[in-house]
Structure 1
Amino acid sequence: MNAGQPRARVLVVDDEADLVRILQFGLQGIGYQVETASDGQEALKKAREQKPDIILLDLMLPKLDGYKVCRLLKFDERYKNIP
């Protein structure tokens, strides 16, 4: 990423802490701003509050599965274009 460009925001959602750390380290290493969540409820809250540029979403999550998180975001006009 160029120094003058704003850093893209990535929300990494997974309940496997080791995988989250690997993704966070790699993405931050190439200039992304990374937020993390370990369950579906936390992911939905952070996505709505922070409106990331992209979400890396595990499907099998505690509290609220990834399918439901995705569905709730895609049916909301404010978040439907987040890949």
Structure 2
Amino acid sequence: MSLEKNIARFIKNRGIQLTVISRATGIPYMALYDTFFNEKKERQIRGKELIAVSDFLGINPKEFTDNSDGEGTREK
């Protein structure tokens, strides 16, 4: 699963609204939406955005790269 899909699943499973993330990180709502939930666009998350979103979520960004469940934990 892609980095963006892992983060999207994490956000969805936690019930976090993109508007809250947008306000807290300064990343435009539509950039977040296009990155995580817009199936018609395959926008990749930018480095600064990844760091900001990960900090907001309280998760090390690397945790999203090594798993398949989007829960922020690596597969063993």
- Per the normalisation by structure 1, the TM-score is 0.27
Q: Answer with 1 or 2: which has the greater Rg.
A: 1
Q: Which has the higher helix share?
A: 2
Higher relative contact order (CA 8 A, sep 6+): 2
- Per the normalisation by structure 2, the TM-score is 0.29
